[in-house]
Amino acid sequence: MDLSTIIFGVLALAFLVLIIQAIRQMGAPLEMEPDEEEAALAAAMEAEEEPEPEEEEEPEPSEPEEMREPEPQQPTAAAPAEPEEPEEPSPRKKPRKQPDRKEEEARLRKGLAKTRGGFIARLGSLFRGKHEIDAEMLDEVEEILFTADIGVRTSQELIDSLRKELSGNKLGDPDAIWSHIRKRSDAMLSGPGFGAIEVDPRVKPFVILVIGVNGTGKTTTIGKLAARLKEEGHEVLLAAADTFRAAAVEQLEIWSERAGASIVKPSKEGADPSSVIVDALKQAKDAGVDVVIADTAGRLHTKANLMDELQKVRRSISKWVDGAPHETLLVLDATMGQNAIAQATLFKEAMDINGLILTKLDGTAKGGVVLGICNELKIPVRFIGIGEKMEDLREFEPRAFVQALYQAAEPRAD
């Protein structure tokens, strides 16, 4: 064998050895894989064993949770749930902030100062310093009452009751006569319906129809009434249905902004008042408004047409809202005196009136007209106006009114 053959053989042998070693090295990890598989299998088995108790534990807490649910509900339902329920309607019907009683009485006395200076002051002057009343003075009492603005019928009733219920010495006693007049005044202003409006929360919208002659302060009164209802928590919408007077629509729009109330206006001057109110009722129903206050025309120089128009408006309202209008309020100017009684009589013949609002009582000596209207027409007074401010539209309180009317005018014998 030559040397090249030997070298080739050695190299081939060495190469073979390297291949064998490489195969062995690759085989070593392959031999380790079974151990790793066993470890993996063991880990997998442990993993499979762990969820088994979890599956068993899941239903276990669910059962006690269901059992425990009634236990926490009992204290929570008993404590916080009941007191929270009455608080829910409070924003809807929250009471108005009541002013100081003494301040209110003082403002009422001030507002009725001119009225006290009328027939009340004349009676007080007649009785003052007198220990007894003779027949001649009684005739003077009769004259004062007949020339007062309480109306002829009411004056006659007061005179007749004086002569009937007071006899002998009592008829000649100034204090007895004065006390009788006050007592009769209280009786004239007694009965249901006096005072503020009660909005029925079960009725939506609650419709208030306001009627009256132009110049009585009707539009201003509507704005003040809207502000009162807003303060009580009601959503208010105004219907500007006095379409024959452009200034009325503009004035009502200003008052709606002051009161924070919505408003529905006519599309043009002279539009059909009923259509304006119907549009307002539709919007009120869609928006869930609580109260709709409808203004109306007040042209007294066309009496027949005016009353026909008001009756048409009333029929239109009743078609869209059952039982509406729920309140029909007549606004009267107290400075008109006995003419206010005539106006109220005319409106009552055409409309079913629920209540009266007497304005401008602070600017007249004819506030005694309240007695005449209530006595003759049997219509309760809801509000009186004793100033220009928003709060000067005040709820009518008969006893407080009579007390303020006669206060400081009663005679005192020397």
Q: CB–CB of 331/212 below 8 Å?
A: yes
Q: Positive or negative, the Cα torsion across 74, 76, 77, 83?
A: positive
Q: Are residues 240 and 358 in the same domain?
A: yes
Range of the domain at 248: 206-396
Q: Are residues 150 and 290 in the same domain?
A: no
Domain membership of residue 158 (yes or no) is yes
Token pair of 292 as six digits: 């709709």
Q: Are residues 283 and 244 in the same domain?
A: yes
328: CATH = 3.40.50.300
Best CA proximity match to 64, nearest among 75, 55, 72, 54:
72
Count other Cβ atoms within 10 Å, centred on residue 84.
Answer: 9
The structural domain count of the chain equals 2
Give residue-wise pLDDT tens across range 2-40.
677 777 776 777 777 677 766 666 654 444 444 544 444
Q: CB–CB of 229/345 below 8 Å?
A: no
Domain boundary among 188, 222, 249: 188
Give residue-wise pLDDT tens across range 146-203.
888 888 899 999 988 888 877 665 666 778 888 888 999 999 998 888 888 999 999 9
Domain membership of residue 377 (yes or no) is yes
Give residue-wise pLDDT tens across range 361-409.
888 878 888 999 999 999 999 999 988 888 889 999 999 889 888 875 5
Q: Are residues 181 and 281 in the same domain?
A: no
127: CATH = 1.20.120.140
Domain membership of residue 303 (yes or no) is yes
Give residue-wise pLDDT tens across range 35-56.
544 444 444 444 444 444 444 4
Q: CB–CB of 235/345 below 8 Å?
A: no
Q: How far from the centroid of its chain's Cα atoms is residue 79's Cα?
A: 31
Q: Are residues 126 and 238 in the same domain?
A: no
Q: Are residues 174 and 255 in the same domain?
A: no
pLDDT score recorded for residue 362: 86
Q: What is the mean pLDDT of the chain?
A: 79
Q: Are residues 166 and 267 in the same domain?
A: no
Domain membership of residue 365 (yes or no) is yes
Q: Are residues 377 and 291 in the same domain?
A: yes
Domain boundary among 125, 159, 188: 188
Q: Are residues 234 and 362 in the same domain?
A: yes
Domain boundary among 188, 219, 254: 188
Q: CB–CB of 282/319 below 8 Å?
A: no
Task: Specify the pTM.
Answer: 0.72
| CB contact set of 192 (below 8 Å; sequence gap of 6+) | 380
Domain membership of residue 338 (yes or no) is yes
Q: Are residues 145 and 216 in the same domain?
A: no
Domain membership of residue 93 (yes or no) is no
Q: Are residues 150 and 220 in the same domain?
A: no
Distances in Å between the Cα of 51 and the Cα atoms of 24, 39, 44, 45, 47 are: 42, 19, 11, 10, 7
Q: How far from the centroid of its chain's Cα atoms is residue 373's Cα?
A: 27
| CB contact set of 150 (below 8 Å; sequence gap of 6+) | 119, 158, 368, 369, 371, 372, 375
Domain membership of residue 143 (yes or no) is yes
* Rg over CA atoms, the chain: 45
Token pair of 234 as six digits: 């009601």
Domain membership of residue 38 (yes or no) is no
Q: Are residues 281 and 323 in the same domain?
A: yes
